[in-house]
Amino acid sequence: MRVAVLASGRGSNFQSILDASERGKLPNCKIKLLIVNKKEAYAIERAKKHNVPYYIIESKNKKREEFDLEMLEILKSNKIEIVVLAGFMRILSKQFISEYKDKIINIHPSLLPKFPGVHAHRDAIEAKAKISGCTVHFVDEGVDTGPIIMQESVAVDIDDDEHTLSEKILPIEHKIYPKVLDLLTSNKLKIINGKVITETD
């Protein structure tokens, strides 16, 4: 399947997907392009290194619908089938989501539905959570509310802060995101009554 990655920053999850692909772990996945909304995003350097075409669409001072239409034009012209959000710090419009219904995935650094939004690590620390982790989910019109595909947990120690918790969770993100992408591009994921069912061979 033809896959596009959307990123805003360093793109470490983008890198984990590129690495998995090069190791032959994503046999049905072709990473066709990267879109970033900030010209300084380090994800661009990762794309260059791996010969992945990239597009910079500055989002500053643009309405959400206008920005998303520009992205859709690029995705459609490249016949993209799956959209992967890798640290993409924008909320997608209803139109964008409807164009790629059940074809957009995101990774979030908490065990959803706990601690949605941009401050998941801080919220977990402030709540004195004993367990946190990460979640891969389909994207719907809410914020971090789509059907959950896969989760993995880590223990939160009493002396953890936002930084140390992030450092614990990031390697797990890098492990499970390529796994989910493999399932999705192999047509092994189905949504039934709002729940994700994984088909086994």
What are the residue numbers of the active site?
108
Whose tokens are 């206008």? That residue is 66
Q: Is 135 exposed, middle or buried (0-12, 13-18, 19+ CB in 10 A)?
A: buried
Which residue blocks in the chain are alpha helix, DSSP H? 12-22, 43-49, 64-77, 94-99, 120-126, 162-185
The 8-class DSSP code of residue 60 comes to T
For residue 114 the two structure tokens come to 């706990």
Instruction: Give residue 62's identity as a one-letter amino acid code.
Output: K
With contact defined as beta carbons under 8 Å apart, do 80 and 32 qualify?
Answer: yes
Parallel, antiparallel or unpaired: strands 30-36 and 54-56: parallel
User: For residue 4, which of 34, 28, 24 has the smallest C-alpha distance?
Assistant: 34
Helix axes 162-185, 12-22, angle to 10 degrees: 40
Q: What angle do CA 31, 36, 38 make, to 5 degrees?
A: 160
